[in-house]
């Protein structure tokens, strides 16, 4: 039965839904986009869906984790705890709206002032008939990668529902002996929050927690598991989620209804794709990906409608553990993750416009397309800022791209700024070298003056025109190498591709040329030419220095990054393992060692640059985004090669 | 008895110590400065102290928490787990060095690959007679402010010591029933790690954890509590620590030996001040603050030597809860915290020199003094970069300061850069306003061009001269207000005063003028004049805009910040409470509301700037440093005024 999806006001659709839901047992999944801390905004959105769900006679309407506060709210609630009181006030207001349709709403619950442990619970309230009917609290609190729940929250001492009177007054010595299930119209619901679903003892090789709330609720007699989530998307995570849900439903013989947040909060992008899985592990309903959506389903009869998913489900879990340059199956998801990241960052910050330098190279071209698609081409300004090293091809590629894309375009020479700055600096340097007489014979100053002059233009525009920010176009491979200029190309109000490795960017450019409504927007020559910053001349060739000559082949570099991030490989592992690049090219051992040494040396010096990276979007399974990964800058002296036992004894003079 | 302190090779001191320690029961506290992840460096330092301790016949030598790895190591060990194997190899090497003197060394302990929970323990090994004699694991894992132990570590399922064979193979089902105490030469030691000491049920109004390892160890018959710590210094934390240690020792009737890390790792500064407290709660030994030190004490006889502490112990705990502009008692500690922060950041990153703009204003003057004291005046270059708005007084103050301080000094005009940039930008703006026709009538572009031209000089110098970085001179009050230019004065390789509020900076400047060996280094006029960026003209006065006119009185601003950070006050609390400023000045209600609104508006827009703040030093009890506090940038729409219940019902149309 093709159940209609999307919240639509058309009378016909509403009628059709009413006819269906009259049979009972139907739930609405409100997959909404939240603003962190903007409780009024979130509450109004929730109230709209509660009213709609009531109007179509649903048994229940379900919202994502922390739907009143937005997830993640991070340290904000610790410093501004009035926000927690505030979200409870709004929760009580929302309860008054409800009628016979129950609503499950996520909120931050205060704990008693002097109760042992953290200050808050990550809770859900079940609202119905004008009242709060019960509270469910998150038991398993993730505290890795982009998750920090345990910084603020206390794990629940009880699985499932507790009476409403425990609100704000709950701790391990106040657990009330009652059924953990919520019974509504003859169905027993076991209600969980996000991570509570992710600790199946048979599915995972290793468990983080001792409890498994899902099996406890099943044992207590649950007919259906409901899970309210804020689960970020990352490369290839969809496969894991799909397999885990199917396995858990099938092995516990229980349908699962999963409601996920959609939209981005800062660096973290949630893909929605809320769904229902029947007790055989089969998907029977799914909401849209990367869009707000409202779907209606019946978990007992497995009635629902499946929206097509954003691709990313093609690979098996085992295949995920092998590096590949075949990015095809990831690209649609990568594209949508970044588009959503840009859109929501701008909208939630009250921004509208972006300005970026168009060099005619890959990074800025890909950024321009993503920005135009996210913000509308009228809101993007591309500025070509050639120097004497910029080739005619690069200049014409920049212009062609802007024309193809329909974004605003201007040309501005950096020559006057570079000349004046160079002259000023040289004057000062002469003064300084009378005191510090070890001036570099060959420095990066001329390269950096060019990059910083361009940034001077872009930041100037953002100061001069309302709601506009400059874009940092650095990519992940180059950030790993510190191959980006501070206050130059790595500065900006947002960095769309900071978590996309270069080889994937090439694939993404080709994918966009093929799959966007308008084809071949990025000139072929942009994709075919070797990347280079066109900031300096290679003394060997007399031509602008090629990035791969300055660094190493991107295919090799990106595999190092992938292996470290995804398999936590050490220097020795990298040395011993065979890279995809090595299957296609002869790499002498000395060459491999040189590249590995260069990688670790440059990475160690890049830690500072990572620490001042502008807000960006997490795309890959692991990243160097501050929201996800932090390493002390002063750890640059780590010896990644390690020592043998004999070497250690020798150094210790044993 | 004046026990000698400091590790000195003088034969006389060693002889004196030998005579003393021959009586037995003497412990050495090795208060060392660690480099995160540089295991070889840390191990060599540890081995040196182990050998020395053996040579003077100590019973035991004790090192800080995670002394092999450095604390905090943050996400590094999750991504590069080979470091954990590596630190175990070094630990085994160190064991071989030990003779009859036991050594307690901190390390990251791996857990079994598939054991439930996190991957590591935060452990101590007791080394003696060439072997590992036992392992102690941290039970209480802090996860707030600058602490993130629970991201990586599993809490220990056992308090006190477990046999050596549990190393790397320990979990709750492998706890061995044995005495939790380490008996050495007739004394029973109860050994703990940092936070394990911070959960006394009677001292704290509220406890974070249910266990109290100290009372468990006392009950098991401990004669002495040993605590290996990495406890950062922050304003007024010394008082808390002093009171907590005294209370715990006295109430449990047990002496405590506390060994703390010294030195800074990135933003976090550890003050050392390792100590012994007798069972009456009296301090009987204390190592130096903010310096490496090695002290010898006997906890049973309460024998030791007390080094003078860096001031900061004058206020009672109750006094800490009240805002005051009387900073006097904090200033020595503030000064030393920042000096250590600069010194260690530079040394651990392989840097040597700093370059900064000298405006003749307070912020840059204070930074110059701190840098000169931390790095040596020959390693600091002050550049005066006046514009047409710079007063003659400012120019002469900058020069006088540099002369007084003996740092290198140069003058460089920004006029050519400002003129060229302005011309270039105006050309481009004309082009852009044909497409975006809402150009600001009055923008901050001219102000920002000046700040960015100065940064162009400073970053140029850092690119041209080895081991040199530019300094960001932004202070805490102005960062809260977003009153700093991106790619301008807020950019830099390090930000020494980013956690010091303006009113405290004034006090610090006066304090340094009085207390440094060379007096009155900062010209009086710098401290007496009203702060202002000298970037724009105030249309009302025709003179450069005064910062307090653009913002609000610093005394008022700094009290808002303090109340929010330390008392988590809400908008309503701030409105209702009487500020120190209000006791001295008449502030009409409308004025107060205007300032509060301005504060929240500006702070909400400053969140982006906080996210790209260069590495700095945490100084105050609470901060906006990323290592300590994170708030989503997209939470800028938070309504800090909140709503009444009636307003909420109205908005929800109830």
Residue of A nearest to B377 (CA): A435
Pairing type for strands A131-137 and A120-128 reads antiparallel
Confidence check: pLDDT of B10 > 70: no
Mutation site for A-interface testing, chosen from B560, B635, B644 by largest number of A Cβ within 10 Å: B635
What is the distance in angstroms between the Cα of A216 and the nearest Cα belonging to chain B? Answer: 18
**Does A649 sit within 8 Å of B94, measured CB to CB?**
no
**Confidence tier at A500 by pLDDT (50, 70, 90):** very high
Identify all chain A residues contacting B346, using CB atoms and an 8 Å cutoff. Answer: none
Per-residue pLDDT at B398? 97
**Confidence tier at B3 by pLDDT (50, 70, 90):** very low
Kindly provide the b/e burial profile for residues A453-475, where b requires at least 16 CB atoms within 10 angstroms of the residue's own CB. Answer: bbbbbbbbbbbbbeebbbbbbbb
User: What's the whole-number mean pLDDT along residues B490-503?
Assistant: 98
What is the distance in angstroms between the Cα of A622 and the nearest Cα belonging to chain B? Answer: 9
**Does B206 sit within 8 Å of A639, measured CB to CB?**
no
**Does A417 sit within 8 Å of B421, measured CB to CB?**
yes
Residue of B nearest to A93 (CA): B649
ipTM score of complex: 0.95
Identify all chain A residues contacting B352, using CB atoms and an 8 Å cutoff. Answer: none
**Does A438 sit within 8 Å of B449, measured CB to CB?**
no
DSSP structural state of residue A117: S
What is the distance in angstroms between the Cα of B483 and the nearest Cα belonging to chain A? Answer: 14
**Does A493 sit within 8 Å of B652, measured CB to CB?**
no
> Which of A652, A633, A334 minimizes the C-alpha distance to A512?
A334
Cβ atoms of B246 and B210 within 8 Å: the answer is no
What is the distance in angstroms between the Cα of B383 and the nearest Cα belonging to chain A? Answer: 9
Torsion angle, alpha carbons of A441, A442, A446, A448, to 10: -120
The values of phi and psi at residue A559, to 5°, are -75, -35
**Confidence tier at A317 by pLDDT (50, 70, 90):** low
**Does A424 sit within 8 Å of B445, measured CB to CB?**
no
Residue range B563-611, pLDDT digits in tens: 999 999 999 999 999 999 999 999 999 999 999 999 999 999 999 999 9
**Considering chain B, what is the average pLDDT of its residues?**
94
For residues A522 and B104, what is the distance between their CA atoms, to the nearest angstrom?
Answer: 62
Q: Calculate what percentage of chain B has a pLDDT beyond 70.
A: 97
**Does A36 sit within 8 Å of B632, measured CB to CB?**
yes
pTM over 0.90: yes
What is the distance in angstroms between the Cα of A148 and the nearest Cα belonging to chain B? Answer: 8
**Confidence tier at A235 by pLDDT (50, 70, 90):** confident
Residue B113 burial (10 A CB sphere; 0-12, 13-18, 19+)? exposed
Q: Which run of H or E residues covers position A477?
A: helix A476-480
For residues B470 and B610, what is the distance between their CA atoms, to the nearest angstrom?
Answer: 18
Q: How many CB atoms lie within 10 A of CB A199?
A: 21
Residue of A nearest to B444 (CA): A463
Identify all chain A residues contacting B630, using CB atoms and an 8 Å cutoff. Answer: 74-75
The values of phi and psi at residue B537, to 5°, are -90, 135
For residues A24 and B144, what is the distance between their CA atoms, to the nearest angstrom?
Answer: 46
> Which of B365, B377, B396, B378 minimizes the C-alpha distance to B521?
B365
3-class state of residue A128 by DSSP: strand
Residue of B nearest to A347 (CA): B634
Its sign, for the CA torsion A577, A579, A580, A584, is negative
User: What's the whole-number mean pLDDT along residues A525-553?
Assistant: 86
Alpha-carbon distances, residue B182 vs A14, A93, A480, B222, B260 (angstroms): 73, 58, 46, 9, 20
Largest CA distance in chain B: 89
What is the distance in angstroms between the Cα of B186 and the nearest Cα belonging to chain A? Answer: 30
Q: Which of A39, A114, A443 is closest, CB to CB, to B206?
A: A114
Residue range B528-574, pLDDT digits in tens: 988 887 778 888 888 888 889 899 999 999 999 999 999 999 999 99
Residue of B nearest to A172 (CA): B210
**Does B445 sit within 8 Å of A463, measured CB to CB?**
yes
**Confidence tier at B175 by pLDDT (50, 70, 90):** very high
**Does A611 sit within 8 Å of B206, measured CB to CB?**
no
**Confidence tier at A281 by pLDDT (50, 70, 90):** very high
Q: Count of A–B CB contacts within 8 Å?
A: 403
User: What's the whole-number mean pLDDT along residues A21-41?
Assistant: 94
What is the distance in angstroms between the Cα of A553 and the nearest Cα belonging to chain B? Answer: 23
Q: Which of A80, A349, A654 is closest, CB to CB, to B633?
A: A349
Q: How many CB atoms lie within 10 A of CB B292?
A: 17
Residue range A593-649, pLDDT digits in tens: 999 999 999 999 999 999 999 999 999 999 999 999 999 999 999 999 999 999 999
What is the distance in angstroms between the Cα of A511 and the nearest Cα belonging to chain B? Answer: 30
Cβ atoms of A488 and A464 within 8 Å: the answer is no
**Confidence tier at B315 by pLDDT (50, 70, 90):** low
> What are the E-state strand segments in A170-219?
182-184, 187-193
Q: Which of B43, B568, B654 is closest, CB to CB, to A96?
A: B654
Residue of A nearest to B384 (CA): A428
> Which of A341, A375, A335 minimizes the C-alpha distance to A267?
A341
Listed in sequence order, the DSSP H helices in B317-414 are 328-349, 362-375, 392-405
The values of phi and psi at residue B284, to 5°, are -120, -10
What is the distance in angstroms between the Cα of A187 and the nearest Cα belonging to chain B? Answer: 30
Per-residue pLDDT at A315? 53
Residue range A398-434, pLDDT digits in tens: 999 999 999 999 999 999 999 999 999 999 999 999 9
User: What's the whole-number mean pLDDT along residues B333-339?
Assistant: 97
Q: How many CB atoms lie within 10 A of CB A234?
A: 24
For residues A160 and A144, what is the distance between their CA atoms, to the nearest angstrom?
Answer: 24
* Conformation bin of residue A482: beta by default, left when phi > 0, alpha when psi is -120 to 50: left
Residue A186 burial (10 A CB sphere; 0-12, 13-18, 19+)? exposed
Q: Which of A36, A424, A615 is closest, CB to CB, to B635?
A: A36
Identify all chain B residues contacting A375, using CB atoms and an 8 Å cutoff. Answer: none
Largest CA distance in chain A: 89
Identify all chain B residues contacting A416, using CB atoms and an 8 Å cutoff. Answer: 420, 423-424
Mutation site for B-interface testing, chosen from A230, A343, A379, A436 by largest number of B Cβ within 10 Å: A436
Cβ atoms of B464 and A433 within 8 Å: the answer is no
> Which of A193, A177, A168 minimizes the C-alpha distance to A115?
A168
Cβ atoms of A594 and A556 within 8 Å: the answer is no
B105 contacts: CB under 8 Å, gap ≥ 6: B46, B63, B67, B68, B91, B94, B124, B125, B127
Cβ atoms of A281 and A249 within 8 Å: the answer is yes
> Which of B47, B55, B40 minimizes the C-alpha distance to B86?
B40
**Does A654 sit within 8 Å of B97, measured CB to CB?**
yes
What is the distance in angstroms between the Cα of A621 and the nearest Cα belonging to chain B? Answer: 13
Residue of A nearest to B204 (CA): A114
> Which of A194, A224, A213, A222 minimizes the C-alpha distance to A60?
A224
Torsion angle, alpha carbons of B610, B615, B621, B624, to 10: 10
Identify all chain A residues contacting B410, using CB atoms and an 8 Å cutoff. Answer: 428, 431-432
**Does B75 sit within 8 Å of A630, measured CB to CB?**
yes
Pairing type for strands B224-229 and B187-193 reads parallel
Identify all chain B residues contacting A449, using CB atoms and an 8 Å cutoff. Answer: 456, 460
Cα angle B253, B255, B260; round to 5:
140
**Does B457 sit within 8 Å of A207, measured CB to CB?**
no
Per-residue pLDDT at B585? 97
Residues shown for chain A: 654
Residue A624 burial (10 A CB sphere; 0-12, 13-18, 19+)? buried
A549 contacts: CB under 8 Å, gap ≥ 6: A538
> Which of B143, B549, B259, B230 minimizes the C-alpha distance to A153?
B143
Cβ atoms of B462 and A494 within 8 Å: the answer is no
User: What's the whole-number mean pLDDT along residues B208-212?
Assistant: 94
Residue range A75-118, pLDDT digits in tens: 999 999 999 999 999 999 999 999 999 999 999 999 988 889 99
For residues A167 and A546, what is the distance between their CA atoms, to the nearest angstrom?
Answer: 62
Q: Give strand pairing partners of B191.
A: B226
3-class state of residue B566 by DSSP: helix
Residues shown for chain B: 654
Q: Which of A117, A383, A486 is closest, CB to CB, to B459?
A: A486
**Does B151 sit within 8 Å of A455, measured CB to CB?**
no
3-class state of residue B458 by DSSP: helix
Kindly provide the b/e burial profile for residues A4-17, where b requires at least 16 CB atoms within 10 angstroms of the residue's own CB. Answer: bbebeeeeeebeeb
User: What's the whole-number mean pLDDT along residues B188-206?
Assistant: 95
Cα angle A402, A403, A408; round to 5:
55
Identify all chain A residues contacting B86, using CB atoms and an 8 Å cutoff. Answer: 642-643
């Amino acid at each position: 039965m093709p159940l209609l999806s999307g919240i639509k006001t058309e009378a016909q659709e509403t009628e059709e839904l009413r006819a269906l839901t009259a049979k009972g047992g139907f739930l609405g999944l409100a997959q909404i986009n939240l603003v962190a801390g903007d409780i009024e905004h979130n509450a109004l959105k929730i109230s709209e869906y509660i009213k709609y769900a009531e109007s179509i006679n649903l048994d229940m309407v379900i919202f994502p984790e922390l739907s009143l506060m937005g997830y993640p709210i991070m340290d904000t609630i610790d410093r501004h705890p009035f926000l927690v009181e505030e979200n409870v006030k709004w929760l009580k207001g929302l309860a008054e709206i409800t009628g016979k349709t129950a609503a499950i709403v996520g909120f931050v619950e205060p704990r008693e002032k002097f109760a042992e442990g953290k200050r808050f619970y990550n809770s859900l309230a079940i609202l119905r008939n004008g009242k709060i009917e019960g509270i469910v609290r998150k038991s398993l609190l993730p505290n890795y990668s982009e998750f920090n729940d345990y910084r603020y929250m206390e794990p629940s001492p009880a699985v499932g529902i507790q009476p409403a009177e425990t609100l704000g007054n709950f701790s391990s010595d106040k657990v009330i002996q009652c059924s953990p299930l919520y019974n509504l119209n003859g169905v027993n619901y076991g209600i969980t929050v996000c991570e509570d679903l992710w600790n199946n003892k048979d599915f995972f090789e290793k468990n983080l927690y001792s409890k498994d709330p899902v099996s406890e609720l099943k044992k207590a007699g649950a007919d259906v598991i409901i899970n309210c989530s804020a689960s970020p998307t990352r490369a290839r995570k969809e496969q894991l989620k799909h397999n885990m849900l199917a396995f858990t439903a099938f092995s516990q013989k229980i349908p699962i209804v999963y409601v996920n947040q959609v939209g981005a909060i800062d660096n973290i992008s949630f893909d929605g794709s809320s769904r229902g899985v029947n007790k055989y592990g089969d998907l029977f309903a799914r909401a849209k990906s990367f869009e707000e959506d409202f779907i209606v389903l019946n978990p007992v009869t497995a009635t629902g409608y499946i929206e097509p998913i954003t691709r990313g489900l093609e690979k098996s879990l085992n295949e995920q553990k092998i590096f590949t340059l075949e990015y095809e199956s990831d690209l649609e998801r990568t594209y949508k993750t970044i588009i959503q990241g840009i859109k929501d960052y701008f909208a939630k910050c009250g921004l509208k416009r972006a300005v970026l330098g168009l060099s005619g190279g890959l990074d800025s071209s890909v950024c321009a397309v993503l920005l135009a698609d996210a913000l509308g081409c009228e809101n993007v300004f591309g500025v070509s800022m050639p120097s004497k090293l910029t080739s005619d091809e690069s200049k014409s590629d920049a212009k062609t791209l802007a024309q193809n894309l329909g974004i605003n375009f201007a040309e501005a020479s950096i020559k006057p700024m570079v000349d004046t700055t160079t002259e000023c600096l040289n004057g000062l340097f002469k003064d300084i070298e009378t005191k510090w007489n070890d001036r570099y014979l060959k420095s990066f100053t001329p390269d950096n003056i060019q990059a910083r002059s361009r940034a001077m233009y872009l930041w100037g525009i953002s100061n001069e025109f309302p709601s506009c920010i400059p874009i940092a176009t650095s990519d992940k491979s180059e950030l790993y190498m510190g191959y980006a200029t501070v206050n130059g190309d790595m500065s900006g109000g947002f960095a769309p591709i900071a978590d996309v490795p270069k080889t994937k960017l090439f694939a993404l450019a080709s994918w966009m040329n093929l799959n966007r409504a308008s084809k071949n927007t990025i000139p072929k020559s942009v994709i075919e030419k070797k990347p280079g910053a066109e900031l300096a001349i290679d003394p060997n060739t007399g031509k602008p220095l090629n990035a791969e000559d300055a660094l190493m082949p991107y295919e090799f570099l990106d595999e190092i990054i992938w292996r470290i991030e995804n398999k936590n490989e050490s220097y020795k592992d990298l040395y011993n393992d065979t890279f995809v690049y090595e299957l296609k090219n002869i790499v002498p051992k000395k060459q491999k060692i040189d590249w590995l040494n260069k990688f670790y040396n440059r990475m160690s010096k890049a830690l500072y640059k990572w620490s001042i990276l502008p807000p960006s979007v997490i795309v890959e399974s692991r990243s160097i985004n501050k929201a996800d990964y932090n390493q002390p800058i002063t750890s640059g002296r780590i010896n990644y090669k390690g020592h043998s036992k004999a070497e250690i004894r020798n150094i210790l003079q044993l």
